[in-house]
């Protein structure tokens, strides 16, 4: 089902790319990252072309809950311990700046996008201590944070961590205005990117191509495997949302830190209830929407469901996005990915860092986000675990006697190949979404085998015997 954002906003249809072009910068992907980066680059005088495989905001951005916040779950206490106070401060400063920048752009361009300033809160029904530690760490880094024991949620909590001065908005109303006048080509999937010498890159999209001085991968999960090796450094996580009428009206945003904690966020008369996160490809039992519906009925008997949807995001090894140069071996290529479900401020931070880097400016705060940063020990462990999951699913595919399987949707069954075309892992069925999903890197396909989400670049129609 569609998210509430898509019910209210439709983007004017743009043409696909039919002729070869030459430009300063090509951006791959017209989600929030691609559009914000194009906006910054355009202001700096770069000719920028955006190539989008689907429609504008056809990827994960349409499924967000759009809390604009520097409160990225429990992060600051860990950042200080692992990367030191200076780098942790850079992370906090850039994300706090991003909130102010949304407010500034919205005021400057007078965009009617339901922008509301409000606090963001983490809550726990089990323990106070992690929230108190995080409050202390956040305050050290300059964030207006306080620990509380009460809030407006309709159940008892042990503790709440409030960040003041945060916000929420209607992401598609905002992006529709921003995308006005941009050179964006829709239904133009990029198939290949080649580096042909300094400042000379060749991007193939369908039957046409773009020559560009610089290339920015804003396509959520980069589809180029080598160089970069992002497939080894990220996985994807999926979450579910229902929009409720006649539930509570909450002034502030909330996220639970306990296992099975929920996300709450008001949008007009609707309350968005989110949860049920799992590694993409790991929901064989289903029941995620039902779990949210049960919780809604328990908290607000008589509430009514207006919409339901799900989306996924890229998770990095150390929970910090990869924003900056794509790889040492790929001069002129840049990337913004791995937002860990905090893409509103991360996309704004990406737009600033990437547009400054392209201008040749030094960005002091950029180091903590660099894809080439030295990773911490915890991240090394994640690398091993992630590699293990991928190897296990690859082995499953190689050892499986079944090359094809059937998925059922609306009473009809469709037989597809269950080998992921990205790196060959075994796909698994998600009964909540009626989709085939790759547990290794998060590619998704509909019941008929059509590609929904990358990094795979093609579908999984049944192989001929």
Ligand X SMILES: Cc1cc2nc3c(=O)[nH]c(=O)nc-3n(C[C@H](O)[C@H](O)[C@H](O)COP(=O)(O)OP(=O)(O)OC[C@H]3O[C@@H](n4cnc5c(N)ncnc54)[C@H](O)[C@@H]3O)c2cc1C
Closest-CA residue to 313 (of 334, 355, 268, 344): 344
What's the closest the beta carbon of residue 288 comes to ligand X, in angstroms? 11
Scanning the structure block, which residue is given the tokens 């001085």? 213
Which of 21, 74, 234, 344 is close enough to bind ligand X by CB under 6 A?
Answer: 344
Minimum distance of ligand X from residue 200's CB (angstroms):
20
Measured in degrees and rounded to the nearest 5, phi and psi for residue 269 equal -85, -5
List phi, psi (to 5°) of 405.
-145, 170
Stretch that binds ligand X, among 148-156, 285-293, 310-318, 366-374 (CB under 6 A): 310-318
Residue 389 near residue 439 (C-beta atoms within 8 A)? yes
Considering only residues 6, 17, 29, 92, which one is a binding residue for ligand X as defined by CB under 6 A?
Answer: 29
Geometric angle at alpha carbon 319, from 318 and 321, rounded to 5°:
105
Residue of 48, 64, 71, 386 interacting with ligand X (CB under 6 A): 64
Looking at 4-12, 110-118, 214-222, 298-306, which segment touches ligand X (CB under 6 A)? 214-222
Window of 23-31, 120-128, 143-151, 299-307 that interacts with ligand X by CB under 6 A: 23-31
Out of 79, 94, 120, 241, which residue is the one contacting ligand X (CB under 6 A)?
241
Site for ligand X (CB under 6 A): which residue of 6, 26, 32, 451?
32
Stretch that binds ligand X, among 32-40, 101-109, 116-124, 396-404 (CB under 6 A): 32-40
Measured from the CB of residue 465, what is the shortest distance to ligand X in angstroms?
30
The answer to whether residue 52 forms part of the interface with ligand X (CB under 6 A) is yes
Query: Which range, of 91-99, 308-316, 412-420, 433-441, touches ligand X by CB under 6 A?
Result: 308-316
Q: Which of residues 190-209 bind ligand X (CB under 6 A)?
A: 190
Does 122 sit near ligand X (CB under 6 A)?
Answer: no
The yes or no reply on residue 276 touching ligand X (CB under 6 A) is: no
Q: Which helix (H) or strand (E) holds 416?
A: strand 412-417
Comparing C-alpha atoms, which of 202, 278, 200, 294 is closest to residue 242? 294
Integer Cα distance of 61 and 79 in angstroms = 26
Q: Which is nearer to ligand X, 340 or 407 (CB)?
A: 340
What number of residues does the chain have? 465
* Choice from 41, 59, 182, 299 touching ligand X (CB under 6 A): 59
Which part of the chain contacts ligand X (CB under 6 A), choosing from 118-126, 151-159, 339-347, 431-439? Answer: 339-347
Q: Is 96 in the site for ligand X (CB under 6 A)?
A: no
Is residue 228 part of the contact set for ligand X (CB under 6 A)? Answer: no
Instruction: Report if residue 312 touches ligand X, rule: CB under 6 A.
Output: yes
CB 208 within 8 A of CB 17: yes
Asked if 60 interacts with ligand X (CB under 6 A), we say yes
- Six token digits for residue 332: 């002129």
How far, in Å, CA of 68 to CA of 71, rounded?
9
Q: How far is the CB of 455 from ligand X (least distance, A)?
A: 8
From 11, 448, 14, 423, select the one nearest 221 (Cα to Cα).
423
Quickly list H helices, 109-236: 129-140, 171-179, 230-233
Q: Is 255 an interacting residue with respect to ligand X (CB under 6 A)? A: no
Q: How near is the Cβ of 335 to ligand X at its closest, in Å?
A: 10
Between 190 and 420, name the residue whose CB sits nearer to ligand X. Answer: 190
Helices (H), 109-220: 129-140, 171-179
Under the binding rule (CB under 6 A), the answer on residue 219 touching ligand X is yes
Task: Give me the phi and psi of 94, to 5 degrees please.
Answer: -65, -40
The minimum distance between CB 312 and ligand X, in angstroms, equals 5
Of residues 11 and 414, the one with the C-beta less far from ligand X:
11
Q: Count CA atoms closer than 13 A to 55's CA, side-chain side.
A: 11
Q: Residue 159 or residue 276: which is nearer to ligand X going by CB?
A: 276
Q: What dihedral do alpha carbons 172, 177, 182, 186 form, nearest 10°?
A: 30
Of 137, 143, 162, the residue nearest 151 (C-alpha): 162
147 token code pair:
């620990």
- Whichever of 67 and 441 has its CB closer to ligand X, that residue is 67
Does residue 350 contact residue 336 with C-beta atoms inside 8 Å? yes
Angle at 424 (CA atoms; ends 420, 429), nearest 5 degrees = 35
d(CA 388, CA 404): 24
Contacts to ligand X by CB under 6 A: 28-34, 51-54, 58-61, 63-67, 189-190, 218-220, 223, 239, 241, 274, 311-313, 339, 341-345, 347, 454
């Amino acid at each position: 089902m569609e998210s509430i954002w898509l019910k209210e906003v439709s983007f004017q249809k743009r043409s696909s790319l039919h002729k070869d072009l030459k430009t300063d910068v090509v951006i791959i992907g017209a989600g929030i990252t691609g559009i914000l980066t194009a906006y910054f680059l355009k202001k700096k005088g770069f000719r920028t072309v955006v190539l989008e495989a689907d429609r504008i905001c056809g990827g994960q951005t349409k499924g967000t809950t759009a809390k604009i916040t520097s409160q990225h779950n429990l992060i600051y206490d860990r950042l200080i311990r692992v990367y030191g106070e200076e780098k942790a401060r850079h992370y906090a400063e850039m994300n706090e700046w991003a909130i102010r920048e949304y407010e500034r752009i919205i005021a400057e361009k007078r965009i009617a996008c339901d922008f509301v300033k409000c606090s963001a809160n983490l809550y726990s029904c089990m323990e106070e201590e992690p929230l108190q530690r995080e409050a202390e760490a956040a305050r050290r880094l300059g964030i207006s944070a306080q620990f509380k024991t009460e809030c407006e949620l309709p159940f008892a909590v042990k503790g709440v961590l409030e960040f003041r001065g945060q916000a929420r908005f209607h992401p598609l109303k905002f992006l529709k205005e921003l995308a006005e006048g941009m050179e964006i080509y829709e239904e133009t999937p990029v198939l290949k990117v080649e580096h042909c010498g300094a400042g000379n890159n060749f991007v193939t999209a369908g039957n046409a191509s773009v020559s560009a001085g610089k290339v920015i991968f804003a396509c959520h999960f980069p589809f180029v495997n080598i160089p970069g090796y992002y497939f080894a450094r990220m996985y994807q996580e999926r979450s579910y949302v229902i929009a409720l009428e006649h539930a509570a009206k909450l002034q502030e945003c909330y996220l639970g830190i306990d296992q099975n904690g929920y996300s709450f966020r008001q949008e007009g008369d609707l309350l968005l209830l989110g949860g049920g996160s799992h590694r993409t490809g790991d929901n064989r039992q289903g029941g995620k929407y039902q779990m949210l519906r049960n919780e809604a009925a328990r908290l607000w008997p008589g509430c009514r469901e207006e919409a339901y949807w799900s989306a996924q995001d890229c998770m990095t090894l150390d929970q910090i996005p990869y924003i900056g140069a794509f790889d040492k071996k790929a001069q002129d290529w840049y990337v913004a990915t791995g937002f860990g479900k905090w893409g509103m401020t991360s996309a704004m931070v990406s737009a600033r860092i990437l547009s400054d880097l392209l201008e040749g400016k030094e960005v002091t705060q950029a180091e903590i986000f660099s894809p080439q940063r030295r990773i911490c020990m915890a991240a090394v462990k994640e690398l091993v675990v992630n590699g293990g999951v991928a190897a296990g699913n690859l082995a499953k595919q190689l050892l499986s006697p079944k090359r094809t399987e059937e998925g059922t949707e609306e009473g009809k069954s469709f037989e597809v190949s269950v080998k992921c075309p990205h790196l060959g892992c075994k796909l698994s069925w998600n009964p909540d979404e009626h989709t085939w999903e790759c547990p290794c890197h998060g590619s998704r396909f509909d019941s008929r085998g059509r590609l929904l989400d990358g990094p795979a670049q093609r579908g999984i129609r049944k192989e001929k015997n």
